[in-house]
Amino acid sequence: MKTESKNTEAARKRYNRIAPFYDFMEGLVERSRYSGWRELLWSKVEGNKILEVGVGTGKNFLYYPAHTKITAIDFSEKMLSRATERARKLGMEIALQQMDVQNLGFEDGIFDTVVATFVFCSVPDPIKGLKEIKRVCKPGGKVLLLEHVLSANPVLSFLMNLVNPLVVRTMGPNINRKTVENVANSGLKVEKVTDLAVGIFKLMEARA
């Protein structure tokens, strides 16, 4: 990996620390909400050469489309270790690599679709990461993001900003990111944004 910024190093260490407990921490919401959203997201994948950014513990493995070649990355070696074990148990062949989305080690324009689920709440420089996604995606290729964002409701957004430092320290993600705006500012062409729940959870579809 390239030399990390202090913020990236801190984020990686945070996810290494919570990796053993990560699936347990999100177990209830995963079953009740996230699993259905993941299935919807992966149903929109195009082409057969796919990059998953921020694979984590491999929660998306069950939704990978058949007959596709998938490369999956994460900057946390302990998250990646759990994903590797999950892939082994499922009998899946996935090209898993430790890599930071802010500095992708891929050539330009090689992926048909790039996918990320609940990732850009944690990337220290989200626009830099999104620009890297745009770079490695084929011109006109698809970018699919499932994210939680800062609420447009003034009261709720105030509360989200208030508790964000605590959430970051304990669980990792920022809950007050404006990811739809970040996607547009990265140069990706936003095609559709679907509100999945309470104006906070969004499915974003864009083109490189």
Compute how many other C-beta atoms are within 10 angstroms of the C-beta atom of residue 31: 10
Q: Tens digits of per-residue pLDDT, 52-94?
A: 999 999 999 999 999 999 999 999 999 999 999 999 999 999 9
Q: Residue 208's closest CA among 109, 72, 106?
A: 109
**Domain-located, residue 14:** yes
Note down the domain range covering 199. Answer: 6-207
**Domain-located, residue 146:** yes
Q: Quote the number of domains for the chain.
A: 1
**Domain-located, residue 1:** no
User: How does DSSP assign 90-158, residue by residue?
Assistant: HT---EEEE--GGG--S-TT-EEEEEEES-TTT-SSHHHHHHHHHHHEEEEEEEEEEEE---SSHHHHH
**Domain-located, residue 141:** yes
Can you tell me the distance from the alpha carbon of 12 to that of 23, in angstroms, rounded to the nearest whole number? Answer: 17
Can you tell me the distance from the alpha carbon of 203 to that of 182, in angstroms, rounded to the nearest whole number? Answer: 14
Can you tell me the distance from the alpha carbon of 40 to that of 34, in angstroms, rounded to the nearest whole number? Answer: 10
Please state the pTM of the whole predicted model. Answer: 0.92
Can you tell me the distance from the alpha carbon of 114 to that of 32, in angstroms, rounded to the nearest whole number? Answer: 25
Q: Tens digits of per-residue pLDDT, 9-58?
A: 988 998 999 888 887 777 677 777 889 999 999 999 999 999 999 999 99
Q: Tens digits of per-residue pLDDT, 84-99?
A: 999 999 999 999 999 9
Domain at 58, CATH number: 3.40.50.150
What stretches of 42-94 adopt beta strand conformation (E)? 49-53, 69-74
To the nearest 10°, report the CA torsion of 125, 39, 172, 174: 60
Give the range among 5-19, 25-39, 114-128, 149-163 with minimum mean pLDDT.
Answer: 25-39
**Domain-located, residue 201:** yes
To the nearest 10°, report the CA torsion of 133, 135, 138, 140: 80
